[in-house]
Each structure stands twice: as structure tokens, then as C-alpha cells.
Chain A
Amino acid sequence: MKSPSFAALCLGLLPLGSVSPTTVSAQTEAAKAPAVDAYAQSIIKRASEYLADAKGVGFTAEIWEEVPVENGPVLQSTRTVEVNLRRPDRLRAEIRSARIARTLLYNGKSLTVHDALAGCYGTINTPATIDETLDAAADMGIEFPLEDVLMSKPFGDGASKATAGQYLGVEEVLGKRCHHLAFRNESFDWQAWVDEGPLPVLRKAVLHFTKEEGKPALTALFSNWRMGSNLPLSAYEFTPPPGTHKIEIIAIKEEETKTPETK
């Protein structure tokens, strides 16, 4: 059962959608109000700055991602990501699932992608910072998981470009009390759960890709935050395990992401 306030809110919202003359002033009032709630904005900004200020950061994320399937149910894939970074120029992400064992290592000069299951790795030269390297890697079709958390301005751009945003109160995420925030951007909706305690870390994030068919969702649960932790620099260097082959990294071509033509 939902609380009475729920129903009251519903009723309160109804006039917004109607066009009766009595609601004109309410609509004008709503139009003047900022689309992005200031409190929601301030919480996400604080979380972003807290993350940006840490010179060393580590965390674990469990990622669930929906995949719409033709003639089938929406599937969900799962992977775990272990991230360590040192600002501004060291980054390590280990991605694991039953069928993925991939490590991305950036040492300030180059990025190595190691696929342990295939026993192969490839290396590309990269720019001098994490931000630039994320872009350079993306241009090659290589994506770091949860990049928005890794940037020097974590999810700050997304928040500042939001067209709508709401503060939704306190909720628990795996036993931690969190501020629940929701934002709408041009091509995706996103929600964030930011720890209510003195350390405003992200505990959960959900994205819905509203421009994609089926509006698939990506959910990430964050744990084991290690703010200020610094792995030794050697942890960001790649040493090929015996029997590992070096292979070429090829950029993804446009055609490969196109829908096949039908003849």
C-alpha cells in the first residue's frame, strides 16, 4: 500500500496536464520554475566535485545492461568492473563476467587492452590525460565502462546539460541511505543515488537510452569506494603473461555499426 501523500501528489499533478482556465496560473507558475531542481543539482555537483578532487580513486561496480532482442524478451547482461585511477594520467579497469576477462590499462603514454580469454593484447599510443585518452580510445571504438565517473568532471556535464531534474528523497541502496535524483537529458534519462553521509559517493546509477529502440536501461551498483587510494604506478603498466600474443587494434568502421541492407 502506498501512503496517502502519494495519492495526493497524483491529484496535485493532474491539473498540470489539463487546459481548463483555472489551471493557467498554475502552468505559468510551473513554467517559471527551473526545470532542474536546484537541490538535485547541488547534490550531484557535490558528488562530482568530491570524486574529481580525489587524486586516487578505486571502486567496484556491478553493471546490468538491457539488450532488446528481435522476436525475444529483453535480455540483461551482467559484468563486474574493478576500477582504479590516479589523476590525471593513470587508469586501470578490469572487466569480468562469465564470458569476459578484459583489462584496460592506461599508463600516461599508451593504452593496452588485454583479453585474457583470447590470450591477446593490443596497445595504442594515447594523449597525456585520462579525459583525452577516453576520447582517443572512443574514437578507436574502445570504451571504458562507466566513463562518466572516470572523467575529471564526473557526470558534471550531464547534470549541467539536463533539461529536467528532480530530487526524490532518501532511499536505501544496499543498506546505505542515499539521495535519489532523477535527470532528463536530450537522449537519455538518468538517475543517481548519492550517499547521504559525509562522503557523497555514488551508490547506484540507472540510465535509460530514450532515443534507442526499447529504451534499454543500464544499471550500475557501486561499492568498495577507495577515495584517495593510490595503487603503485606499476599497477598501470602491462606485462604480457607468458603465451600472450600482441595483436593489431583496428578502429571500428561506420559500416560495422549500420543496419544491414535488405535486398
Chain B
Amino acid sequence: MKLSLHRSTILSALGIFAFGLIPAKADRHRSVNRNVNINRNVSRNVNVNRHVHRDVDIDIHHRYHHGGYYRGGGFAAGAAAGLVTGAVIGAAVAAPPRGYTTVYYGSRPYAYYGGTYYQPGSSGYVVVAPPVGIIVPVLPPGCIPSVIDGVTYYGLNGLYYQPVMVGGVVQYRTVVL
């Protein structure tokens, strides 16, 4: 809150100088700019655009994964992990716990929280078994590591996870041992 006040003060001061002028000019030149960007090869060279955007995406991804303090369920600061560990497959819930992460298998989304996977059901959500190969950002609490042929796996209730690197960040993929 303090931050946004501070920023708006600075920007409103700046706005008179910079952003009061720039939008008018930008509008005039927007079509020119668009023509340039239609060319894929050209736009590939617009590094500020491409790289910074992706950088932001990845880092948001990253924070979700390591922070666990907010996600699709809304603002959930301090949500305790592991509350629902051990939920029974097939159990129906109104909604996944606050702070869940949306993970994908192919194009199918799952809500993931504390080692439990949810999918939309007839009313609300249903606890489901995860597909083999789905990748989750954090291990369920209580996983036990075991090393097989030099590879470390993390197991919980008969389900095993193998660390893999996605987007430069370590995540965990379900495997069959």
C-alpha cells in the first residue's frame, strides 16, 4: 500500500513530463510499429520485448513454485502446506484449498495442493489420482527420498517424484518405479 502511494506520487510528477507526451506520439506511430512487428524475424530481434516478457513469466512461475504464498485460489499469505495430504481419491470438495497451484498434464489442468490433485466435478471439485508424468512445483510434505541407480526419487504413499528442471527451476515429475 505504501509502495503504491509512493509510486503514484512519483509517476504523477513524472507523468506530466513523460507520459503526458508519449501516449499522443505513440498513438500516431502505432501503425508503423505494428508493421515492423508483424515480421516474425524482425520481432525476434526485438530483444527487450521478447526476453523481458519471458523473463517475467518465468520468474512469476518460479515464485509461485517456491513461495507458495499466492496462486489461483487468490491471495493466501501464509497458507499452511500439507493440510489436505492424504485426502481420499474420489472425495468431493467445494473448492481446492486456498493457495493451490494449477498444474497441467498435456492441456488438462489439475489443481495441486500439498500432494493432492483436484479436478472439477459435477459440483465443486473431486480428489483424483495424478497421471504419471505430471510435473508439480513443490514436493508434497513428508516425502521420503530414496536413491535408485544414482537417481534420487521422493516417495509418498506409493507415489514417486523425480526432480527435473523446467524453466530453469527444479520441479518434480511423477514416475513409476
Chain B 142-167 near chain A by CB (<8 Å), digits 1 or 0: 00000000011000000000111111
Instruction: Give bound CA distance, A17 to B102, whole Å.
Output: 45
Given contacts A31-B28, A164-B29, contact A138 B51 (CB under 8 A): yes
Q: Is A134 a contact partner of B51 (Cβ separation < 8 A)?
A: yes
Instruction: Give bound CA distance, A22 to B78, whole Å.
Output: 60
Please name the residue on chain B nearest to A27 by beta carbon.
Answer: B24
Report B-chain residues with C-beta under 8 Å of the C-beta of A128: none
A side interface size, CB within 8 A: 85
Q: Is A207 a contact partner of B52 (Cβ separation < 8 A)?
A: yes
Q: Is B58 a contact partner of A143 (Cβ separation < 8 A)?
A: yes
Q: Is B52 a contact partner of A147 (Cβ separation < 8 A)?
A: yes
Given contacts A74-B4, A141-B167, A161-B33, contact A148 B26 (CB under 8 A): no
B124–chain A nearest beta-carbon distance, Å: 11
Instruction: Give bound CA distance, A148 to B53, whole Å.
Output: 11
Report B-chain residues with C-beta under 8 Å of the C-beta of A104: 168
Instruction: Tell me whether chain B's interface is mostly helix, strand or loop, or mixed.
Output: helix
Report B-chain residues with C-beta under 8 Å of the C-beta of A77: 59, 63, 67
Interface residues on B, range: 35 or more
A155 CB contact (under 8 Å) in B3, B22, B23, B48: B48
Instruction: Give bound CA distance, A188 to B47, whole Å.
Output: 12
Instruction: Give bound CA distance, A263 to B152, whole Å.
Output: 37
B45 CB contact (under 8 Å) in A10, A157, A190, A257: A157
Number of A-B contacts (CB under 8 A): 216
Q: Is A35 a contact partner of B163 (Cβ separation < 8 A)?
A: no
Q: Is A187 a contact partner of B49 (Cβ separation < 8 A)?
A: yes
Instruction: Tell me whether chain A's interface is mostly helix, strand or loop, or mixed.
Output: mixed
Please name the residue on chain B nearest to A7 by beta carbon.
Answer: B16
Stretch at the interface among A53-61, A225-233, A234-242, A248-256: A248-256
Q: Is B46 a contact partner of A158 (Cβ separation < 8 A)?
A: yes
Report A-chain residues with C-beta under 8 Å of the C-beta of B22: 164-166, 182, 184, 189
Report B-chain residues with C-beta under 8 Å of the C-beta of A157: 45-48
Interface status of A260 (Cβ within 8 A of chain B)? yes
List 8 A-B pairs, Cβ < 8 Å. Answer: A75-B70, A148-B52, A166-B17, A168-B14, A185-B46, A256-B104, A260-B72, A260-B102
Q: Which residues of A contact B (CB under 8 A)?
A: 2, 6, 9-10, 13, 16-17, 30-31, 35, 65, 67, 69-77, 79, 99-100, 102, 104, 113, 115, 118, 120-122, 134-135, 137-138, 141-148, 151, 155, 157-158, 161, 163-166, 168, 182, 184-191, 207, 209, 212, 216-218, 245, 247-253, 255-258, 260-263
- Apart from A135-B44, A218-B56, list 17 A-B contacts with CB within 8 A: A13-B20, A35-B25, A69-B70, A99-B67, A113-B168, A115-B165, A115-B170, A120-B165, A120-B170, A137-B168, A155-B47, A163-B25, A166-B21, A184-B23, A217-B7, A255-B106, A260-B102
